[in-house]
Amino acid sequence: MRLVLAPYLAEFLDANIVGVLATERPDGRPRQSLVYYARDGERVLVTTDAARQKVADVRRNAWASLCVMAHDRPFPSATFAGPARILTQDIGVATAAVIQRVADLDEPPEPQSDEALAGVGRVILAIEIERVGPVTYVEGG
């Protein structure tokens, strides 16, 4: 069954801009890195370089986790995980949505074409949120 994200968690994702992405290395150990993301319904989207090892991890095992936090005590946080894919088609709008948050723009920049994004090696890592938790100190929970 498709998860419906509780509104307070959707708001929490929208109110923050970075999280820690975790993927599974070939040896099973977690690989972590800080990423900017954007939410699209029940998905979180990350723009990244196709050559990164986290991209290879997702291509290999199709799962990722994102832990998002607010930045003041007591550091509200929530972890979102689920099936993940690497997208290369129709990614202009998603990429622009993430760039808007990276660059702190009032509006997203003009979307680039898939060809232009491929030319600079950009892909979208998309996580379909299937599991939520732990959630700590997020208001509305």
Site residues for a copy of itself per CB under 8 A:
18, 20, 22-24, 28-34, 61, 63, 65-67, 69, 71-73, 75, 77, 79, 81, 104, 134, 136
Give helix then strand counts, H and E, for the chain.
4, 8
User: Nearest distance from residue 84's CB to a copy of itself, in Å?
Assistant: 11
Q: Whose Cβ is closer to a copy of itself: residue 31's or residue 59's?
A: 31
Rounded to an integer, what distance in angstroms lies between the CA atom of residue 110 and that of residue 117? 13
User: Nearest distance from residue 107's CB to a copy of itself, in Å?
Assistant: 18
Q: Whose Cβ is closer to a copy of itself: residue 21's or residue 96's?
A: 21
User: Nearest distance from residue 6's CB to a copy of itself, in Å?
Assistant: 18
User: Nearest distance from residue 24's CB to a copy of itself, in Å?
Assistant: 5
Neighbouring C-alpha atoms within 13 Å toward the C-beta of 30: 8
CA angle 69, 22, 41 (to 5 degrees): 65
Q: Whose Cβ is closer to a copy of itself: residue 82's or residue 92's?
A: 82
User: Distances in Å between the alpha carbon of 12 and those of 7, 8, 15, 36, 52?
Assistant: 8, 6, 5, 14, 27
